[in-house]
Chain A
């Protein structure tokens, strides 16, 4: 299976990004209207599932936004992994 990444805008928006992650896992579009809603859906989707997520070329350096993004991801099963590529050392240190 070839890598078909979902590309998101450079603007870091936790809601949009969470939705993009959900869509990428589901392989279908999502119509969540706000962050709460999409986080709930992603939690539900990942709950107890062992997942693997790649975030390619991350630029965002804001710790709060990353923490918010990670909230639903913590519902995945033990052993779930996130692989990040970045040009910024700081990104790696705040993740």
Chain B
């Protein structure tokens, strides 16, 4: 049966996207240059984040069956929030300094940024070096809609339809609408689609959108909705 995955992708995707935006921020580079912070660090940080981004989708998929992966993701989440924190602080310092005639940050601030940055890079590096990461599949695209298609048939006589697993959020609704209008090629079987994901990921919202879509009125004689 088709399984639509809408899990943490939104969460990690959003955090990573924000971080990438900040890392590309030209002024942040200026800040680093003027304050003699190590520009290399910024590049290194970005490289680590790109690596994390490449495996995060698969890790999120695997967290349900593997508690080690779940722990790993928890640590990654912490590190990402730390990264966001740090970049925000640098952003703030920058905006503060722009108001002054001379562009100068206190040297204690700068050195604290420097050591935090190093800590962060080391942390991400060690997370990436964990053995578990080798098992993750690499998905393409950085900060994009990340859509992979993995399908496998379940060898159960009772299963209603073939299973299809879809990652990514961008195409979710479209996939559901397509599924709604598709004619089942098996007469005796009910067509069931499951949206699987952690709480608060927008599964219900997605289902509501679909339920209220005009396609339902057009294509179905009756509809019903139950929440648990």
Contacts and interface: CB of A to CB of B under 8 A. Distances in A.
Chain B binds chain A: yes
Interface string A29-62: 0000000000000000110011111111111000
A20 B228 CA distance: 11
Given A56-B207, A63-B158, A70-B190, A6 B227 contact: yes
B101 interface: no
B64 interface: yes
A86 B3 CA distance: 10
B160 interface: yes
Q: Report whether over half of chain A's contact residues are helix, strand or loop; otherwise say mixed.
A: mixed
* Secondary structure class of chain B's binding surface, majority of residues: mixed
Contacts of B150: none
Interface in B202-228: 203-204, 206-208, 210-212, 216-217, 219-228
A59 B179 CA distance: 23
B128 interface: no
A81 B226 contact: no
Contact of B226 (A6, A52, A59, A95): A6
A15 B53 CA distance: 46
A2 to B, nearest CB: 7
B144 to A, nearest CB: 25
Contacts of B211: 3, 52, 54, 83
Given A78-B184, A83-B176, A51 B192 contact: no
Given A78-B187, A80-B191, A86-B196, A50 B228 contact: no
B127 interface: no
A59 B220 contact: no
Contact of B225 (A45, A53, A81, A92): A53
Given A1-B212, A70-B190, A92-B194, A58 B199 contact: no
Contacts of B197: 85, 87
B195 A83 contact: yes
Contact of B183 (A1, A46, A78, A95): A78
Interface of A: 1-8, 10, 17, 20-21, 24-25, 45-46, 49-59, 63, 67, 70, 73-74, 76-89, 91-93, 95
Given A24-B225, A83-B193, 6 more contacts: A3-B211, A53-B224, A55-B228, A57-B228, A59-B228, A82-B193
23 contacts: A5-B225, A6-B225, A17-B226, A20-B226, A24-B224, A25-B224, A51-B220, A52-B216, A52-B222, A54-B210, A54-B226, A57-B204, A63-B158, A74-B188, A78-B183, A80-B220, A81-B190, A82-B192, A83-B207, A83-B211, A87-B197, A88-B196, A93-B3
